[in-house]
Chain A
Amino acid sequence: MKKFRRLMLWLGLIFIALLTFFSIYGAFQGADKAQKFFNSIPLAVYWAVFGVIIAASIFLIPRLVKLPGLLAMHVGCVLIIAGSMWGSQAGHEMQRKYFGSARIQSSRMSISEGYAEDKLYLSEGSSVNQLLNSIKFDRFSIKYEYDTQNINFISDGKTFRKEPVVIGTQISLGIENSYIIPVHFFRNLGFNKTVDGKEQAFDRPGGGSNPALEIKLTDHNGKESTRFLADTSFYNLPFLIRLNDFRIEYYKDPKLVVLDEKGLIWSGPAEVGKAIDLGPEFGIITPTRVFNNLIANNGVLTDSEGPAMNPAIEILVDFPGQPQVKRYSYQKFPDSCIVAKKFVIRCNSTISDYISVLDIVTEDGKVLASKCIEVNKPLHYGGYHFYQSSYQPLANGNYATILSVTSDSGLYCVFAGFFAMCGGIVYHQWLRSVFKKKKQKPEAQAQG
Chain B
Amino acid sequence: MEIKYTIQGLLIYIAIAAYAVGFLLAIFRIKKVAGFVYFLGFGSALAAFIYRGLHVGHIPMQNLFEVFVTLGMLVYPITLFSRKVLRVPGGPGDCADMLIGIIVLFPAGFVAKFSADPQQLPPALQCWLFAPHVAVYMLSYMIMAKAAFLAGARIAGAKPAPEENLLAYEDATYRMVCAGFPLLTLGLILGSWWGKLAWGDYWGWDPKELWSLVSWLVYLGYFHFRTMYGKKYPKANSTLAILGMVAIIITLLWVNLSKLFPGLHSYA
Contacts and interface: CB of A to CB of B under 8 A. Distances in A.
Contacts of A405: 200
A354 to B, nearest CB: 6
A376 B127 contact: yes
Interface string A418-432: 100110011001100
Given A31-B264, A406-B200, A418-B192, A425 B217 contact: no
B116 interface: no
Which residue, of A354, A375, A426, A430, has the highest number of chain B Cβ atoms within 10 A? A375
Interface stretch (B42-50, B61-69, B88-96, B207-215): B207-215
Interface in A339-359: 350-354
Interface residues on A, range: 35 or more
B77 interface: no
B203 interface: yes
B27 to A, nearest CB: 32
A404 interface: yes
A28 B261 contact: yes
A385 B121 CA distance: 24
A426 to B, nearest CB: 5
B197 interface: yes
Interface in A244-293: 251
Interface string A359-394: 000000000000000111110000001010100000
A232 B124 CA distance: 33
B165 interface: no
B179 to A, nearest CB: 7
B225 interface: yes
Interface string B184-203: 01100100110011111111
A440 interface: no
Contact of B182 (A9, A354, A406, A426): A426
A23 interface: yes
Contact of A352 (B120, B182, B201, B262): B120
A430 B224 contact: no
Given A84-B203, A418-B189, A422-B182, A352 B224 contact: no
Nearest to B251: A27
Contact of B205 (A20, A24, A26, A376): A26
A151 B121 CA distance: 52
Nearest to A84: B203
Given A30-B262, A30-B263, A376 B228 contact: no
A164 to B, nearest CB: 41
Interface in B111-146: 120-124, 126-127
Contact of B218 (A20, A385, A389): A20
Interface string B168-185: 000000000011011001
B227 interface: yes
Contacts of B206: 30-31, 34
A404 B199 CA distance: 9
A6 B213 CA distance: 25
Nearest to A388: B123
Contact of A421 (B185, B211, B255): B185
Complex A-B, nearest 8 residue pairs according to Cβ-Cβ distance, in ascending order: A375-B123, A34-B205, A27-B210, A31-B206, A27-B207, A35-B205, A350-B120, A23-B210
Given A31-B206, A32-B205, A375-B126, 16 more contacts: A9-B224, A16-B220, A19-B213, A30-B262, A34-B206, A34-B210, A351-B122, A374-B123, A375-B124, A404-B200, A411-B196, A411-B202, A418-B193, A425-B185, A429-B182, A430-B182
